[in-house]
Structures are given as C-alpha cells and as structure tokens.
Structure 1
C-alpha cells in the first residue's frame, strides 16, 4: 500500500482521480434512473427498455468517435460540448412529457454525447507519473472505480423511490455538470494535447493488443452484467440482499485491485486473473444461498479490477500517444456492448431455467474470456521489463508546463 501512498503524493494525481470519478459517477446512475422514470411515466418496463437500448446504442457509437475528436479539437472543447448536450438531454427526459419514440431520441442523443472522460483521463495518466508508476496507477484507477458501482445505484434507487424519479434524474444532471466542470477545469486537461491521428478511424483495432483488450473487456463486463441480472432475479428484484451481494462483488474487485496492482504484467497476467473470475463465477451455480453467493462473488470479484488494469495497461503500451484516446474509446464500446449482451443473455436464461441461468451465462462469458487469453497469449504484451507508456509519435505529442515525468 505504500506504493499507492507515494503515487497519490505525486502532484495532481489525487485531484485528477477524484475529479474523474466524480465526473463518471452518473455512469452508475443514469440507466437505472431512466428505467425508473420511464416505467413511472409510461407504466411499461418494455418502453423503459427501448429508451435504455437507444441510450446504450448512442454510448457505443460515441466512444471511439468523441475520443478521436479530442485529438482534432482538444480535450476541453470536446468534453465541454458533450457535457452540455448530455446534461440537456437528461434534463429533457426528466422534465418533458413525451411519447416513447421521442424519449428514445433523447436517450440516443444523451448516449451519443456521453463525455469521454474515461478516455481522456487514461490518456493523461502517462503524462503525470513516472513510467514505473503507470501500471500501479491503472490498477488504482480500476479499483477505485468500483466505488461508483457500489454507491451510485444505491443513491439513485433511494432518491428515485423515496423522493421521485424527476429529482433522481436532476440529481444526475447536477453531478454531471459539477463533476464534469471539475475535471474539465483540472490543469492537466488543459496541459496535455493529443495530436491528431493520421490514420483512419478503426485502424487502431488492427493492433492485436487493442483488439484483444476490446474482446476481453466485452466478455468480462458481459459476465459482470449477467451476475447483476442474476442477483436481482435471485433476491426478488432488488431487495436488501441484492444490494448487499452486489456491493460485496464490488468490494472483492476493489480489494483485488489494491492487492495485485504492484504485480508486473506478463503475457499470462490476463489468463491468471480471468481464471480467478471464472472459478468464482462457476461456483455460484452450486447454490443460490445468500452466504454462498456472497463468498463466491467476492472470490470472482478479486480478479475483476486486476483484469481491467491489464486491459488499460496493454492498450496504453501498444499504441502511439495520438491513438490512445481512440483505442480506449473502442475498449469502452466493447464493454458497453458486453454489458448489453450479458444482460440480454442472462434475461433469456432466467426466463427459461430460472435465476441459475444468469450465473451459467456469467461463468460462460468469463470462461470464453479465459480461453481467449490462453489461446492468444502471444498477442498480450509482456510488460514485466518495460512500462505501460504509449509508443512515441514521430512529432511532438504534448505540451506540459514543465518536463514530462514519464
């Protein structure tokens, strides 16, 4: 843990982590708040699902596109414009009474304009710390983001059910604007310039590590989404037990990330981490007892943040600095599609064979991810004797107020 303390003493690191976590906090609230609000307004979960689907499609499209735009127009400009449009669309959903197709249009706009905070901050990190500190920083980031998934759903559910769905959505708008402004105004966002990529959009997926990061992220987040659906189905659509079990799942991930973040990343690192996830999720099939599920999901969670840290590090280490934002955009899109696929697969299996089907789906997603990590192990970079910094561009790539620490 001393390594993390030293990391957080690095000028600006603690602030930028706190700012980006606050800016991304609505990510753990928006889907659930829209679900509660549209169901309340229309009386139909089916209509709410359509609006959520439109929002997810928009997010999946926007990831690599808006991330790439940051190299053309600058981080602050892209982040500011997308932030304002996204906040306006969510506020419109909250305040306007509309037919479902128009709610879907607003959801699509909100998804398309989701601020690319995650791509931005992970592009900034290599310019803030030494090369030796970069992999632990990715691990810390992956671990601390679990705070979003522990707290955000609880907050939005409480406000949505106890105060109202309109206040819940407006709370998201307030956090989005406040957290987004904090992040955008951070000095590092203004100091780091992403050079404009000269390659066509999507070409970065031709790099095996980026493609593998996208595929593995799809499967890992698909497994997590299937677990969430299974826990909700197991404990009567989100009772107290569901919240506790899902929180423990995230706590396991947080603990794993903080514990394993200092371990060097070799070619087999992803396979070892996904083995932990696969074993834990496979054991959930044995029993739906709350204590058994809590224990097995803590075990599975231990591998999740470390696996995400490998995804972030291998992506950064495999592309030029000018390509990092777009690469992270594609990785994020893969994870969003994985979340939708995991939820949908789990839903079909829950209808067919009961809640156990969701855990079968989760274990299957994780097992396929493990298989990919084993079969294509040579496609994963060996970072044990090098850092995770991006490859150099052929021309100046950033402007900083002082020499780069990396």
Structure 2
C-alpha cells in the first residue's frame, strides 16, 4: 500500500508568520487601543484621589479595591464571553465601565467620603473589559483552525498553525508589557499636565472607542459555546474544573506579586536615597527586561515539555528576586531589576501556552481571564504588603514580598506539576501538541518542538 509522505520544514514559524495570519491585524490594532485603559486605571485613580484628598493612603486603598474587584469579576466576564460571544459581553461592558469610572471621578472631585469612593471603585474594577484574554482566545481560535482554514489545521497560508501558539503567547506578553509602559506615562502626563481627572477621562474614552472597534471584528471572534464539554462528554462547569488551571493561578499570583512588590519597593528605595526621579528609570529597565525576554523567548523553539519549561522559568524568577532586599546601590538594583524582568516573560508565556492546551475551547476565554485576574490580585496584595513592610522596616523590606510569593508559587508548581500535563498522562518531550484539551482530538505532530532551542 502506497504511503504519501508530506515534507515538513524544521523552521519554527516566527513573528512575521504570526502577523501574516489572515484577520490578525483587524483585531490586534483595536485590541491594543482597548488595552491601554487597563494600565491607566489604577494610576489614574491614585493621582486623582491623592490630588483631592491629599492622602496617598486613601488613594492606594481606592486603587486596591479597584484591582481586587477586577480580579474577582474578570473570570465571570470571561465565562460569559465563552458562552455568549465576545461582542455580547464587550458592548454593554465598555459602556458600563465608562459610566462607573465617570461616577468615581465625579465623587473624587466632589471630595466625597472614603466609603463612597470605595463603593464606587467596585463597579469600576469589576467592569474592566478583559480585552487581553479575548485577544489570546482569538489567536487560539485562528491558529487552531479558524475562518478560511479548510482543513482545520491552522491559518490559511501555511500548515501547522498550532506551531505558532507559543509565538502568539510571546507576542501577547510583549504587548501587555508595552501597554504597561505607555499607559502609566499617558495617565501621568494627562493628570499632571491637563487636569487631575484627565487620566480617568481618557481611560473611559479609550475603553469605549477601542472596545467597540474590537467588538465589531466578528469574523475573527471564537464561536460561542453554550455548553463546553470535555473528552468524556461531561460539561465543564468552569475552567477551574481543570486541575492544571488551579496550579497556574497560583503561579500567576506569584508573577503579579513581582509586579506589585517591585513597583512599591522601587519607589520607596529611590525616595529613601533622595532620588525619587530614578524610580521611572528603574521600573523602565525592569519592564524592558520583560519585553526583551519575551521577544527572544518567542523566537526560540524548545525540546522540553512546557510544564518543565514553566518549572525552570519559575525557578529562575525566584532566584533573581532573592538578592533584591540586600541591594543598597542603584546600579546593582538596575541590573537585578533587568534580570527579574527577564525571568517574568518565560513564566508568563509558558503559562499561557499551557492554559491553551489544558482547557477546552468552550472555557478558553474564562481560563485566560483567571490568569489575568490572578496577576491583578497578586499585584494588589503585594503592593499593599510591600507598603506595610516598607513603613515598618525600611525601604528594602518590601523586596521580600516578590521573593516570598515566587518561592511559595514555585513549591506549588513543583509539587503539582503532574497536573500541568496537557494529555493528563506521561510527560512528553515537547514533540507533540496535545491538542485542545477536552476536544477528543489526538495530538498533532509539531516538528518545530523537537528542534531547539534555536532561533527562528
């Protein structure tokens, strides 16, 4: 019996191949616009509330409530998007968020009591549009076989779209970090140069414009799944029914703690040495390390299985945070900040890659929002804890928060790493793609996964 052999290239598809995916630019550009508010909201609140109350403590409390509210409500938003479609959730969501932010700004300008500000912060945070997870869900939908892919193997124009999933995860990690570089700068400039409420006004406007433009791109949106089912045919009540998702939530809480702890601790350190202006420089170096590592990580292909990569990346992140508390000079802090930033991207990228493999398509957006919510919650809790330690024990004490959080998360990931196996069976060597968990489809051969690491 004759056998047809299909030649396979060993070259891993790179960013150019990813961005040539049909339909990608139609959601990437409005998606980037709609993501800016996520990075502007908490800082805009801090600057406005501090201006009207004169208290950073009050401003921090209102901002923290917003972050915690977003973290708690984001997964529900993602689940609704999976069930009813992204457009059905985004359109009313962006309008509600703009209204909630408007109420919060009006209360702050009228010097309302703290309880009123805290109450208004809840809907402002709960209604934050989860555009980042929705973009990731669109990538997964297109690369797994979306519109125009007749055989369901990947995007038109090239076979094996699933091989681009890790590249897409890297691209989104870099995009997120770029958002957190641009957003805070824009919010600060508007609040200090135009009006204390201008940052929140811009945040609300970008939410509405970007969110509606993104929602209008129906062709690239994943279909609604009213009842997502696993391989055994049983319905998945939630992405949390997948054990690996719960492990990754703990891992992402630790990553969020690095962001929150570094923000507060760097600000306290530069203030303690009488050079507060260096805070922006130091945090910029930290963010640059994250973006650089994300770009490089996405251009490599790996022989090891993703759960092993996550464990190694997290161990590196924990190692880089360990000496931060003992630093007393700016140049050394800059170097360690750069290395810490470089440890974040591989952990985030591998974590999101695992999420896509572990969960069925019907709960994919919800799973991504659990990850985003975990980062936000870890950031809020760590910022508060670092602030308390700084007040009580000195400027460097806050740096122990990222170390403690990542160490605890590393122990969890190491102990429960078996739950991160996409096939639920034996740990692979990275040569197969486990397929979409719960869709009953066997893994596809991924030639690029057995060829690295090397540049694409």
Matches within 5 A, 1:168-179: 168-179=199-210
User: Which of 134, 141, 161 in structure 2 is aligned with 1:127?
Assistant: 141
Partner of 2:150: none
TM-aligned CA distance change 1:380 to 1:201, over 3 Å: closer
TM-aligned CA distance change 1:364 to 1:150, over 3 Å: same
Q: Distance in 2 between matches of 1:103 and 1:202?
A: 35
1:119·1:328 contact (CA, 8 Å) conserved in 2?
Answer: yes
1:223·1:361 contact (CA, 8 Å) conserved in 2?
Answer: yes
2:173·2:294 contact (CA, 8 Å) conserved in 1?
Answer: yes
1:218·1:335 contact (CA, 8 Å) conserved in 2?
Answer: yes
1:61·1:333 contact (CA, 8 Å) conserved in 2?
Answer: yes
Partner of 1:19: 30
Q: Distance in 1 between matches of 2:128 and 2:435?
A: 26
1:200 CA displacement: 8.3
1:19·1:182 contact (CA, 8 Å) conserved in 2?
Answer: yes
> Within the alignment, does 1:373 sit opposite 2:413 as a pair?
yes
> Within the alignment, does 1:8 sit opposite 2:22 as a pair?
no
1:247 CA displacement: 0.9
TM-aligned CA distance change 1:87 to 1:221, over 3 Å: same
Q: Distance in 1 between matches of 2:341 and 2:90?
A: 31
1:242 CA displacement: 0.5
User: Which of 230, 239, 252 in structure 1 is aligned with 2:276?
Assistant: 239
User: Which of 86, 97, 116 in structure 1 is aligned with 2:130?
Assistant: 116
Q: Distance in 1 between matches of 2:349 and 2:435?
A: 14
Q: Is the partner of 2:197 in helix, strand or coil?
A: helix
TM-aligned CA distance change 1:28 to 1:201, over 3 Å: farther
The number of equivalent residue pairs is 394
Matches within 5 A, 1:36-185: 36-96=47-107, 97=110, 98-129=112-143, 130-185=161-216
1:392 CA displacement: 5.1
Would you tell me which structure has more helix in proportion to its own residues? 1
Q: Distance in 1 between matches of 2:373 and 2:250?
A: 10
TM-aligned CA distance change 1:188 to 1:391, over 3 Å: farther
Q: Distance in 1 between matches of 2:95 and 2:323?
A: 45
Partner of 2:248: 213
Could you tell me which runs of 5 or more consecutive residues in structure 2 were left unpaired when the two chains were aligned.
1-11, 144-160, 229-233, 422-427, 442-456
Q: Distance in 2 between matches of 1:72 and 1:302?
A: 36
> Within the alignment, does 1:387 sit opposite 2:433 as a pair?
yes
TM-score of the two chains, using structure 2 as the length reference? 0.80
Question: Which runs of structure 1 show a deviation greater than 6 angstroms over 4 or more consecutive aligned residues?
Answer: 199-202
Q: Is the partner of 1:196 in helix, strand or coil?
A: coil
Matches within 5 A, 1:260-279: 260-261=297-298, 262-264=300-302, 265-279=305-319
1:18 CA displacement: 3.0
1:389 CA displacement: 5.0
What do you get for the CA RMSD once the two structures are aligned? 2.4
Deviations 1:129-154 (Å, cap 9, x if unpaired)? 21111111111111221101122112
Deviations 1:141-187 (Å, cap 9, x if unpaired)? 11221101122112211221222211121111122122212211224
User: Which of 218, 223, 226 in structure 1 is aligned with 2:258?
Assistant: 223
Q: Distance in 1 between matches of 2:57 and 2:135?
A: 36
1:301 CA displacement: 1.0
> Within the alignment, does 1:294 sit opposite 2:340 as a pair?
no
Partner of 1:323: 363
Q: Distance in 1 between matches of 2:282 and 2:435?
A: 36
Q: Distance in 1 between matches of 2:57 and 2:342?
A: 35
1:271 CA displacement: 1.7
1:215 CA displacement: 0.6
Say which one has the larger Rg: 2
1:279 CA displacement: 2.2
Partner of 2:46: 35
